[in-house]
Amino acid sequence: MNAVVPSLYLASQSPRRRELLQQIGVVHAVINASIPEQPAPGETALDYVQRLAREKAAAGFAQLLKQQLPLAPVLGADTLGLLDGKILEKPLNQDHAHTMLRQLSGRTHQVITAVALHSSTRQALRVSTTDVTFRELSDREIAAYWETGEPQDKAGSYAIQGLGAVFVQEIRGSYSCVVGLPIEATCELLREFAVPWWTPAAAECAS
Catalytically annotated residues: 78
- Alpha helical stretches, state H, the chain: 15-23, 45-66, 94-104, 139-147, 175-179, 183-192
Say how far apart CA 130 and CA 148 lie, in whole Å: 26
Per-residue pLDDT tens over the stretch 180-195:
999 999 999 999 999 9
Per-residue pLDDT tens over the stretch 71-96:
999 999 999 999 999 999 889 999 99
The terminus-to-terminus CA distance of the chain in angstroms comes to 16
Global pTM reads: 0.93
Q: Assign 205 a pLDDT band (cuts: 50, 70, 90).
A: low
Q: Return phi, psi of residue 117, to 5°.
A: -115, 135
Pairing of strands 8-10, 28-30: parallel
